Amino acid sequence: MTEYYLAWLQLINTRDQFYLLALLLVAAGLVWYKLGPLHHKFAATYIGGGVLLVSGLVGWGATLV
Partner 1 sequence: MKNRFFWPLLLGVALLLRLWQITAALWYDEVFSALMAGLPLPLLLEAAAGDVHPPTYYLLLSAIGMVAGAGEIAMRLPSLLASMALIPLAYRLARSLRANTTTARLVALITALAPYQLYYSIEARSYALLSLAVGLAALGLVERRYWLAVAGSLIALYLHNTGGVFLAPLWLVSLRNERRYWLAGAVVAVGYLPGLWWAVAQAGHITGNYWVPPLTSPGRLVATLDDMVWFFPKSPYVFASSLVTGLLLLLILLDARRLPRLALAALFGPLLLLALASIVWQPLLISRVMAPAALFLYILAGWVINRSPTRRWALGLLAAPVLLATLAGMITWQLGRDPVDRELAAELRQYDGIYHSSVGGAVMWRYYLPDTPQFLYPQGDTELAATLSPQTRQALGLYEIDLGLIKCATVATPAGNIPMRRWAFLYFHNPVTAPDEIEFVASTLQNYPTRPIADLRHDDTTAAALVELTPECDHAAIYH
- Residue ranges in contact with partner 1 by CB under 8 A: 1-2, 4-5, 7-9, 11-13, 15-23, 25-27, 30, 45, 48-49, 51-53, 55-56, 58-60, 62-63
- Report the nearest approach of partner 1 to the CB of residue 31 (Å): 10
What single-letter DSSP state applies at residue 36? S
- Report the nearest approach of partner 1 to the CB of residue 55 (Å): 4
- CA 32 – CA 45 distance, rounded (Å): 10
Contact 44, 33 (CB under 8 A): yes
- Report the nearest approach of partner 1 to the CB of residue 28 (Å): 10
Contact 36, 44 (CB under 8 A): yes
